[in-house]
Amino acid sequence: MLLDVPTRIAASPAAQRARTTPGLLTAITAGLVALGLLWSVAGLLAVGRRADRVDDVRTVSGPLSVHALDIYRSLSDADATAAAAFLGAGTETSALRTRYLDDVAEAGAAIASALRATSSANDPGRASENQLRLLAAGLPVYTGLVETARAYDRQQLPLGAAYLREASGLMRDTLLPAAQRLVTLETGRLADAQRRGADFPVPVLIAGLVLLLALAGAQAFLTRRTNRLINPGLAVASLATVVALVWFVVAVGSAVGNLNIGRESGSEQFTRLAEARVAVLQARADESLTLIARGDGRADERHYAEMLTGLIGNDGRGGLLGDVAAGPGADRAQVERIAGLAARWRALHDDVRELDDGGRYDEAVELASGPPSATFEQLDRALDEYVDATGHWFDARADQAAADLAGARTAVAGLGLLVLAAVVLGTRNRIGEYR
């Protein structure tokens, strides 16, 4: 009796129908629909994940890295400006005072913005938030020390210089290192988001090629069984699949390219230039503090030399600016101009030091307030312009990547539905002919 079971199953109406042309066509249709759904869902998920990462670059990690760099720059500039204001004892200029207050306000606003952003960001161990809270607590202490130094300096009392050095020590030993750690954390987060968004979804491409091969196989089957060369529905489905695959590959490939270009020519260059600007600002503070110390500023002078060497190297062509010039998409003419200004500032600084070391302090202060100060301002403006241009370039690449992925989503969703409809309509008529 058991040996008769397979015979009865094989002889059942359902099994017999499955071996007929309409049965095979029904199975083929179901298989093609399943493959089409698989490809569409996989494509939409892949595009969605990358779109989320690009959105993170544009709205979370990108702005956070900018806030971190703004904090670092504003604090460095505040330190440099506060020191420069003390060179003319009791005669602080309104321009320097305004610049210092603007720097403090910008740093405070950037810290507050970054704290709000980190509350909604994925911050393992709350590392960024810890640095921001350290900065938020330390900034009022720093400004208090500067105001105390300013009050003594206006009375032409030597305690002013002592308080200023204490304020600068707090800035350099606590606040700027915290800002540097914040920059490292946020630029690392940004680079990771860019890398994760720039990987190409190869499995989706493979699924699309499998669907295309399956459509070709179904067309060949129909040609053999029906003696009709072309099935319009399957032909439309095949064409739509080819168009969707090409569109998907081009759109996602363009998004990947824009993210990579944005990282290499945008965010990485942006970070290098921001570091270069901070080095310039710290060197400016060193220059002023060395003069304020009146012969006891050897440590500040050494730090000035370290900053300028780190900026342009010993020969004026290396350092951070050399790295920027060697990077992809660098404006080498602009980098050479900036490096030339830095070299000129270093040469003028040497003249200031020669006067101060020779006991001609008043002449050294007067010279420092002239050509070296003007050259520093030109250098700072040139770096600021280049930093802004690089940041805009990065933003434009991220926006273009988002637009590319929106196009890929349209291709997968719209053409995927067209493929499914064309498959069903193309085989339904052939199946109906056997009824």
Could you read off the pLDDT of 311-362 as tens digits, one per residue?
Answer: 998 888 888 888 888 887 788 889 999 999 999 999 999 999 898 888 888 8
Q: Which amino acid is present at 153?
A: D
The answer to whether 188 touches 124, Cβ cutoff 8 Å, is: no
Residue corresponding to tokens 């569409």: 40
Q: Residue 30, CB half-sphere, CA atoms under 13 Å: how many? A: 7
Q: Is 245 helix (H, G, I), strand (E, B) or coil?
A: helix
Q: How confident is the model at residue 107 (pLDDT cuts 50, 70, 90)?
A: very high
Task: Please state the rounded mean pLDDT for residues 364-386.
Answer: 87
Interatomic CA distance for residues 141 and 389, integer angstroms: 34
**pLDDT single digits (tens) 38-97:** 888 888 888 888 888 888 777 777 788 888 888 988 898 888 888 888 776 445 578 888
Cβ within 8 Å of residue 325, ≥6 positions away: 332, 335, 336, 339
Cβ within 8 Å of residue 388, ≥6 positions away: none
Radius of gyration of the chain (CA): 33
Instruction: Identify the DSSP state of 370.
Output: T
Which ranges of 57-175 would DSSP assign to H, the alpha helix? 62-85, 94-120, 127-154, 159-170
Residue 202 has pLDDT above 80, yes or no: yes
Q: How confident is the model at residue 9 (pLDDT cuts 50, 70, 90)?
A: very low
Q: Residue 400, CB half-sphere, CA atoms under 13 Å: how many? A: 16
For 316, phi then psi, to 5°, come to 80, 5
Instruction: Identify the DSSP state of 3.
Output: T
Question: Average pLDDT over the chain, rounded to whole?
Answer: 82
pLDDT over 90 percentage in the chain: 14
Task: Identify the H or E element spanning 40.
Answer: helix 21-56
Q: How confident is the model at residue 227 (pLDDT cuts 50, 70, 90)?
A: low
pTM of this prediction exceeds 0.75: no
Question: Residue 270: which of 128, 111, 385 has the closest Cα?
Answer: 385
Interatomic CA distance for residues 208 and 244, integer angstroms: 9
Instruction: Identify the DSSP state of 329.
Output: T
- How open is the CA angle 359-360-363, to the nearest 5 degrees? 160
Interatomic CA distance for residues 363 and 361, integer angstroms: 5
Interatomic CA distance for residues 257 and 246, integer angstroms: 16
Structure tokens at 263: 């990282």
| 173-180 long-range Cβ contacts below 8 angstroms, 24+ apart | 174/134, 174/138, 175/75, 175/134, 175/135, 175/138, 175/139, 175/142, 176/72, 176/75, 176/76, 176/79, 176/282, 178/131, 178/134, 178/135, 178/138, 179/68, 179/71, 179/72, 179/75, 179/131, 179/135, 180/72
Highest-confidence range of 135-144, 321-330, 358-367, 405-414, by mean pLDDT? 135-144
Burial of 9: CB neighbours in 10 Å, binned 0-12, 13-18, 19+: exposed
Residue corresponding to tokens 């680079």: 191
Region of 205 on the Ramachandran plot (φ > 0 left; ψ -120 to 50 alpha; else beta): alpha
The answer to whether 26 touches 32, Cβ cutoff 8 Å, is: no
What is the model's pLDDT at position 59?
76
The answer to whether 61 touches 55, Cβ cutoff 8 Å, is: no
The answer to whether 343 touches 322, Cβ cutoff 8 Å, is: no
The answer to whether 420 touches 36, Cβ cutoff 8 Å, is: yes
Structure tokens at 366: 């007067």
Q: Parse the chain into domains and list their residue ranges.
A: 21-432
What is the model's pLDDT at position 1?
44
Interatomic CA distance for residues 65 and 378, integer angstroms: 26
Q: How confident is the model at residue 433 (pLDDT cuts 50, 70, 90)?
A: low
Cβ within 8 Å of residue 82, ≥6 positions away: 100, 146, 149, 164, 167, 168, 285
Displacement of CA 278 from its chain's centroid (Å): 19
Burial of 295: CB neighbours in 10 Å, binned 0-12, 13-18, 19+: exposed
- How open is the CA angle 300-303-307, to the nearest 5 degrees? 140
